[in-house]
Structure 1
Amino acid sequence: MKRIAYVFGGLAAAGAGTYLVIYLYRWQWQRALICGVLLLVVEVLLFGVVLLGRLTRIEDRLRDSDRRQREMDARQQDVLTRLRQPPEAHEEARFRWLEDPADRTYVFVPVLMVTGVLLSGLAWVVQRIASATGKPAERRLAGRLAVLSAPDPDGADDLPELPPIGSAPSRGRTARLAAVSVVAAALTAGLVAGLAELTQTREEEPNLNEATSVLVQVDMRGPDMTASRRALAAQQVWERCRDSTSAPLRHATLGDLGDGLFAGVVRPALTQHDRMRLRGCLEDTTLERAHLTVVGIGDADADDD
């Protein structure tokens, strides 16, 4: 479930971020704000999923630790109870030959003494063999534990540099990590360069045409949306976008062509950047139950009718 949440959260965040950049490029601020809020919500959701996973793992560790502690306490209590129990009398554990009459003859004690002597000699032989063969193993063990010993204060500067703890990474893993790093750096550089190219402010050439004509389609929702309401909505949106361009649209008119189509004429003619800003403002309307779509936009010469 967590992996599915991560996948869907990552896809949602990527989509919201992509459309955020697109709407900012199109000068559609309301849609950009919505995508930004959605991106923020997805990021908070992913952060909550990660935090919940961490808390769940911490709770599991604490639960296991408490269980092991309870088991250890129970074992200690059991051992302590056994140690505190009074010793029981075991009459049958004594040597029976001590209770027998003294006029009987036994060979148990001499046999036991001879066996002890033989076992002592055998143990001495084993000890000599072990001491002769254990010196190389002790030297190897001392070499392994040398890295954990404290350095001598007098000769600390003369110690050789110790190798790093842990196995060295393999060549294949290093190559894969380097390839992924190079690809990620290239993608990041391309994304930054593309955004810089799209959002860079450049000096535009003036439009030498006489005027710019804009054709918009107004769609209304609701049963009582008449032609007068549609014209009023179109006029409100048009007036709201008069100051969206670099030059205020003082000499701009909007006419009704019927069937929800309206035509606007802007003088002087707009530059390419001002066209994009005007289109984004018209299509990013926030008027209730109304939506405007720019059907076409182009320049008009003085000789055009």
Structure 2
Amino acid sequence: MKRLAHLFAGAAGLGAGTYVVIYLYRWQWQRAIMCGVLLIVAEVLLLGLIVLGRLSRIEQRINEGDRRHADVLARLEQPRTEDPAARFRWLDDIRVERTHVFVPVLMAAGAVLSGLARLVQKIAQSTVRPAADRQMAGRLAVLAAPPLGTDLDALPPTGPDRRRTRHRITGFVAGTTALAALVLGLGELTETRPEERAPDTVATSVVVRLATRGVSGQEYRALLAHEIWNRCRHSTAVPLYDATLGSLGDGLYAGVVHPALADHDRMRLRGCLEDTATDRAYFKVVGMDQTRKD
């Protein structure tokens, strides 16, 4: 399910990003903005899925660390049980047949050292909190053995994953290169630059069809057509001062632009005419051609 969600978000983001580039190349800004919003939504969705996955893994590691911490702390708090008969075993050695002189001295020194140890223990108990044991248990938790029945081959490696690091570096370099190539290529395609027009052309003719939804009245449709046409007159690099629009009937309109437009300006005019909509009305470009000298 997680992989399916990642695949869906990635496919949606890839499709939206592709259409953003296409619509920017066609100078259709409204559609590019809509696809850009969808791209942001897909990126937020993908980012949320990644963050949730990381948080779940962190929570799992914390729970595992707490369990090991509790196990180590329980082992540290267990009393040390020793066999009293095993103390001073050297006194029970059958090979000892005579009394040594250092035995009384050793016993007296032991009594003094026991008193000092008892004093140090009392001081330590009054100054040290149980947090020291918890801190030590936290440090030793990484060294604790996994629970019984755990598949050791399924456990993650303890050292740094060099292969994963190499994959991350490779992906970062490839992504940066692709993004730079996309930005440079898109800038090259959409950059406004002076273009040479054909010397034998005098005008550019455009034939469009007005499509409406729920609009009645021929005069109102003509008003909407001229409104869209006037909006797109300023979309080219050269202002269209002499650009007339006439009706051909049956929803068709013909526009004539003087002087003739270059290839880049024709693309910008087509993109604006097909992208601009007003009051449930929009244009569909039927044809565009250059008018040459007779």
State TM-score, norm by structure 2.
0.61
Instruction: Provide the aligned C-alpha RMSD in A.
Output: 3.9
Counterpart for residue 244 of structure 2: 253
Counterpart for residue 289 of structure 2: 298
Q: Is the 8 A contact 2:205 2:256 kept in 1?
A: yes
Matches of 1:296 and 1:183, distance apart in 2: 41
Counterpart for residue 257 of structure 2: 266
Q: 1:188 to 1:247 in 2, by over 3 A?
A: closer
Give the 3-state SS of the residue equivalent to 1:210 in structure 2. strand
Q: Does 1:62 align with 2:62?
A: yes
Q: Does 1:204 align with 2:191?
A: no
Q: Is the 8 A contact 1:31 1:284 kept in 2?
A: yes
Matches of 2:262 and 2:66, distance apart in 1: 72
- Residue identity matched to 2:213: R
Aligned-pair CA distance for 1:203: 3.4
State TM-score, norm by structure 1.
0.59
Deviations 1:205-240 (A, max 9, x none): 124322111101111112x43322322211110011
Give the 3-state SS of the residue equivalent to 2:14 in structure 1. helix
Matches of 2:69 and 2:209, distance apart in 1: 74
Larger radius of gyration: 1
Deviations 1:116-163 (A, max 9, x none): xxxxxxxxxxxxxxxxxxxxxxxxxxxxxxxxxxxxxxxxxxxxxxxx
Q: Is the 8 A contact 1:207 1:270 kept in 2?
A: no
- Residue identity matched to 1:228: E
Q: 1:193 to 1:73 in 2, by over 3 A?
A: closer
Q: 1:279 to 1:193 in 2, by over 3 A?
A: same
Structure 2 counterparts to residues 1-305 of structure 1, below 5 A: 1-70=1-70, 79-80=78-79, 194-195=185-186, 197-199=188-190, 201-208=192-199, 209-222=201-214, 224-301=215-292, 303=294
- Residue identity matched to 2:254: A
Aligned residues: 218
Matches of 1:242 and 1:274, distance apart in 2: 11
User: Structure 2, unaligned stretches of length 5 or more?
Assistant: 82-93, 95-158
Q: Is the 8 A contact 2:228 2:282 kept in 1?
A: no
Aligned-pair CA distance for 1:9: 1.7
Q: 1:273 to 1:231 in 2, by over 3 A?
A: same
Matches of 2:184 and 2:242, distance apart in 1: 38
Give the 3-state SS of the residue equivalent to 2:53 in structure 1. helix
